Amino acid sequence: MWSFGVYNLRLSDREFWNLTLAQFDALVRRYKDEQRRSDYRSAMVCSILAEINRDRKRRTKPFSPEDFMPKEEETKRIDNPKMKRALERISQMLEGKEE
Residue 35 counted as domain residue:
yes
Full-model pTM: 0.63
**Rama region for 96: left / alpha / beta (φ>0; ψ in -120 to 50; rest):** left
Q: Which run of H or of E encompasses 15?
A: helix 13-17
Domain extent, residue 12, equals 2-94
- In 3D space, the residue among 7, 41, 5 whose CA is nearest the CA of residue 25 turns out to be 5
3-class secondary-structure state, position 97: coil
Residue 21 counted as domain residue:
yes
Whether residue 27 has pLDDT greater than 80: yes
- In 3D space, the residue among 98, 49, 39, 30 whose CA is nearest the CA of residue 70 turns out to be 39
pLDDT, averaged across the chain: 89
What's the total number of domains in the chain? Answer: 1
Residue 59 counted as domain residue:
yes
Band (pLDDT 50/70/90 cuts) for residue 53 is very high
Residue 99 counted as domain residue:
no
